[in-house]
Structure 1
Amino acid sequence: MTKNKNGLRGLTLSALAAAMLGALPAWAVDPFTLRDIRVEGLQRVEPGTVFASLPFRIGDQYSDDKGSTAIRSLFGLGLFSDIRLQINGDVLVVIVEERPTVADVSFSGIKEFDNEVLTKALRDIGLTEGRPFDKALADRAEQELKRQYISKSMYAAQVVTTVTPGERNRVNLNFSVVEGDVAKIKDIRIVGNQAFSESTLRNLFDLDTGGWLSWYTKSDRYSRAKLNADIETLRSYYLTRGYLEFRIDSTQVAISPDKQDMSITLNITEGNRYVVSSVALEGEYLGKEEEFKSLITLRAGEAYNSEDVTSTVKAFTDYYGAFGYAFAQVEATPEIDRVNKRVSFVLRGQPA
């Protein structure tokens, strides 16, 4: 609490202090009955907006707790950068400093995206003409724009946000971009393969190091989503050809210092190639074991195939469902013989 030579008592809070109101010390103001409430500092905000947010009216009793609540409520409007409460006898003066409003939002240097689409995206988050300017929103928009460029493999893109003060406490907001060139995939390596050649495995990928159609397919542009899809394709390739214990040990993506070239390295462990030795049933099969056995696509003597396991489990579950057991549980448990490179399966089924 402060007291000036005119007997005014008050407290000044910044936006940061408002966020920490729970930790503020007591104001040491004795409760009193409000004879009047005045608001100072308004430029565009209507006085009624302030009065409607106050937890008291003229004639009510004022206290420290109510003052704290009032400041929380006023900051919660998002319209003010600073708020002060001053008490002069039994009169409360609310002094506010309005946040500037956005006069204009513009973009420069952007070719990869449509300006109207970006303007709409900013409008949707509240960063548009006539709304209070929020630096946190501007920073968020800048980071999101950078991420959008990264998603298009434009790692050299630079985004600078400029806020220019104008008349009547208004600001102009400009996002200036130097896009740079698209980073291209220079090299894709697969390390640890023995059963299949590296070229055979790379041909499974949608991502590549470029070709005569790359300008259209953009296959030489790195994308984490595309890489994840290619990894799953690689995994499926091995798991459907007997390699039950295949795994991806690590994925390394490197970009050159000039942010123009990218290299991808996958380190894999193939493991042994397994042949199915047997398939057994355990559990409750409604007295229809033979019918369930006819649904098994796993075959003894054939290489392990993850798709056969998946299709068998689904067929069992669907067959249970035909008899009204919609929540039947089916598990396919492998028993691995690493010495002889064979795997047997136990299918455990429960109707409910």
Structure 2
Amino acid sequence: MMRKKFAALFLMCGAGAAQGFTVEDIDIRGIERIAEGTVLNYLPLERGDEIDATASADAVESLFETGFFDDVQLLRDGDTLIIEVDERPGIAQIEFTGNDEIPGDRLRDGLSGAGLGEGQSFDPSLLSTIERELEQQYFALGYYDIDIESTVSPLPRNRVSLRLDIEEGEPASVQPIQFIGNQAFDGDTLRDEFEMGPRAWWAFLSDRDKYSRQRLSADLDRLQRFYRDRGYANFAIDSTQVAISPDRQRIHITVNLNEGQRYNVGEIELAGDLIFDEAELRELLTVKSGEVYNQRRIGETVDALRDKLGERGYAFARINPVPEIRAADEAVDLTFFVDPADRVYVRRVRISGNETTRDDVIRGEMRQFEGTWLSTSDLEESERRLGRTGFFGDVRVNTPRVPGTNNQVDVEVETTERLSGSLRAGVGFGSDQGVILNLGVQQDNVFGTGDRAEFVANSNDADTEYRLSYLERNHTLSGIDRRYAIAFRDREADEFDLNDYGLKSATASYGYRLPVSSNDRVGADLEFEETDIDLPADADSYLVDEIAREGRSNAVVRANISWTRDTRNRAVFPTQGGRQQSRLEVSLPGVSDFEYYRLSVDQTRYAALNERFTLMLDGTLSYGDGYGDSEILPFYENFYAGGIRTVRGYDRNSLGPTDDSDEQVGGNLRVLGRVEMQVRPSLDDDANNLRLSAFVDGGQVWDLEREGLGGFDQFDTADLRFSAGAGLTYYSPIGPLTMSLARPLNDEPGDETQFFQFTIGATF
């Protein structure tokens, strides 16, 4: 009591105290957790300073602003300044209970940012504010029945423990959204554009009826795009009301909108420094005069023009579309102002992250070079080519400006290497292959050169195969690859649901892959194959006749020519681009026991409809025949169809010609087709190894050279078989898992069908 009274006299009395004194020493009292040095750091006074009423007030204010103290008093004892504080307790720990929707770490970070973090001083006045802020976070997620209670427990050494007990309650569900002012489109049509809304009774796991401000904002943006893509250039959302029912269980949203007038596109002008001929740029316009005004197409035009200028080094070009509305004519004139900015060239190409792969291998895939104008198309192609090598888990290409310049950039290629070597062994099972045994040793990037070495052993119910191969990338400076391989196969055809015969073959091949363009390659191989055929004692007449014509042992030298165009954005689950391949195999006359050829053309296209859905179209045409002294294609080189890899819903190899014993014999003409909608169930990157699908398959096999084979010796499109169903593909740790449920759409009596088909641990 005497000390406080002395302090009051010191701070508030008249002239004598106002003259102050020189501080010879400082004594701090009342601290427990906070170090004396910390207080002195915040105190705007030192020993030897003069103190008066003004300086003392400044000192008290500085110490209060630290937030460490509930009370601060300055006292004088002779020439000693006494600072007596009432220290706030420190927060030792913060606990949460009942918080299922918002993780504790997120709540803890929010409290820390507001001044209530572990290790900070506890200010009770902030607690109610923090509770209200936490409620707002839950309100934003649609939890309006939230209840938060806080408990502060004292601990030794002037510390406290803070516990927040949270009762989240049930989230309020969004009711059908109401619209006011819509005339061109009814409410149901507009509701379809919203991701929020009532949840269907069967969608147990859906969160569609959960409210959040962020989701509502995204839905309103989607609504605006919907109108502006349909001609309503002046569309506006006047206001949005969000109301909650008295029981806090239902949320009602009302959107007040102004549709405005519907416009067509009027005149389209290009202005500014066009760089290219105007006619060439006009070919890129996706918006056309006379069509309904469409904001999306205007954006596509801007992107196309910017990319076009980027091809000549104007990588930072600005395209500004300026609309001019002519209300009387119900038209919008568009002027695209082109500002190419500075032309930019590449100073350096810098590569990082490649611990194994050599720089020259990466540079060999690059289409953007040092000292040339920066080309956006070359950069994109470089990134795609590096991604398709399979050496990298991630490739990022950045183009920072060179400091101090306006027309130079560096191209920074950042790679994340994946394991390029593997020792794989596994057991799988396929509905059309039986038990599959796999063993493989593969190195896709030998010593960082990009070369690939591989040894593979596969075995299933019908086949045993051994293969050793080596691919030498960039064998020449012009980018030609060289490949050589040897292989051995032992096949039991009856296990493939074919005629009963055994086939053993040994093959050696040598060839090249020649780059024709960034996406095109031509392959040329010379292949030697020796084949031995074993027939059982009760072989049917078909096989006896074939062996009589061709012999049991044969040797051929084949020339294989292929052309491949690959524009896919990635090898696994692509969403854009396509892959086309044509392959011709010809046995060479004079050095082969018989002469034949096989031609196959395959084309696959991918089109992403949005982030989840990708449409895939695939078609294959295969044909083979004999030539010269050979009349027909050898029977063991025939084509087959049916099964999970060709036409799902039908047994493996069950389509096409049969012999007198109703055994499948294949044919020399095959047609296959597939339409498939692939669905990505989750947008999470960690779950990008799964796809669901709905499909329609079609196909058939004919033999146009052999007569009397089950009625398939004449080409007739009425013979085509179709099926429809659903499928799943999952890249599991032991290999890809493929499953399908399919029903034939036009099967005929005698067709062998199979509803469920699958394979796992496929051959490689």
What's the TM-score bracket when you normalise by the shorter of the two chains? 0.7 to 0.9
Which of 204, 208, 226 is the matching residue for 2:215? 226
Q: Percent identity?
A: 39
Which of 136, 144, 154 is the matching residue for 1:147? 136
Shift of 1:96: 1.0
Kept in 2, the 8 Å contact 1:187–1:262? The answer is no
Shift of 1:98: 0.7
CA distance in 2, matches of 1:3, 1:174: 38
Q: SS in structure 2 opposite 1:236?
A: helix
**1:202 and 2:226 correspond:** no
Q: Which has the higher strand share?
A: 2
Distance 1:218 1:63, change over 3 A: same
Which of 224, 238, 242 is the matching residue for 2:227? 238
CA distance in 1, matches of 2:7, 2:68: 29
Shift of 1:59: 4.2
| Ranges in structure 1 where 5+ consecutive residues have no aligned partner | 13-24
Please, which moves more after superposition, 265-274 or 45-54?
45-54
1:279-290 equivalences under 5 Å are 279-286=268-275, 288-290=277-279
CA distance in 2, matches of 1:328, 1:152: 41
Shift of 1:272: 2.7
Correspondence for 2:90: 101
Kept in 2, the 8 Å contact 1:3–1:10? The answer is no
Distance 1:91 1:136, change over 3 A: same
Correspondence for 2:10: 10
Correspondence for 1:16: none
Shift of 1:191: 2.5
1:1-352 equivalences under 5 Å are 9-11=9-11, 29-115=18-104, 118=107, 122=111, 127=116, 131-165=120-154, 169-286=158-275, 288-352=277-341
Which amino acid in structure 2 is aligned with residue 228 of structure 1? S
Correspondence for 1:18: none
CA distance in 2, matches of 1:191, 1:210: 22
Shift of 1:185: 1.3
Which amino acid in structure 1 is aligned with residue 177 of structure 2? I
Shift of 1:123: 5.9
Which amino acid in structure 1 is aligned with residue 307 of structure 2? D
CA distance in 2, matches of 1:131, 1:331: 51
Q: How many residues align?
A: 339
Kept in 1, the 8 Å contact 2:23–2:48? The answer is yes
Shift of 1:255: 0.8
Distance 1:303 1:101, change over 3 A: same
State the TM-score, normalizing by the size of structure 1.
Answer: 0.81
CA deviations 1:291-311 (Å, max 9, x no partner) are 222222221222111122122
Q: Which has the higher helix share?
A: 1
Q: SS in structure 2 opposite 1:349?
A: strand
CA distance in 2, matches of 1:26, 1:207: 72
Correspondence for 2:553: none
Distance 1:26 1:347, change over 3 A: farther
Which amino acid in structure 1 is aligned with residue 210 of structure 2? R
CA distance in 2, matches of 1:7, 1:246: 69
Shift of 1:142: 1.9
Kept in 2, the 8 Å contact 1:282–1:349? The answer is yes
CA deviations 1:38-76 (Å, max 9, x no partner) are 222233333343344444444444344543443344334
CA distance in 2, matches of 1:165, 1:4: 27
CA distance in 1, matches of 2:199, 2:7: 77
Which amino acid in structure 2 is aligned with residue 202 of structure 1? R
Distance 1:328 1:27, change over 3 A: farther
Distance 1:88 1:108, change over 3 A: same
Distance 1:304 1:121, change over 3 A: closer
Distance 1:193 1:127, change over 3 A: closer
Kept in 1, the 8 Å contact 2:321–2:337? The answer is yes
Shift of 1:246: 1.9
Kept in 2, the 8 Å contact 1:162–1:173? The answer is yes
Please, which moves more after superposition, 298-307 or 137-146?
137-146
CA deviations 1:229-264 (Å, max 9, x no partner) are 111212112211222222222212111112111111
Distance 1:86 1:226, change over 3 A: same
CA distance in 1, matches of 2:249, 2:155: 39
Distance 1:349 1:105, change over 3 A: closer
Shift of 1:202: 1.0
CA distance in 1, matches of 2:336, 2:105: 57
CA distance in 2, matches of 1:303, 1:172: 65
CA deviations 1:3-30 (Å, max 9, x no partner) are 9886974349xxxxxxxxxxxx999521
| Ranges in structure 2 where 5+ consecutive residues have no aligned partner | 342-764
CA distance in 1, matches of 2:106, 2:271: 58
Correspondence for 1:17: none
CA distance in 2, matches of 1:177, 1:136: 20
Please, which moves more after superposition, 142-151 or 162-171?
162-171
Which amino acid in structure 2 is aligned with residue 247 of structure 1? A
Distance 1:11 1:271, change over 3 A: same
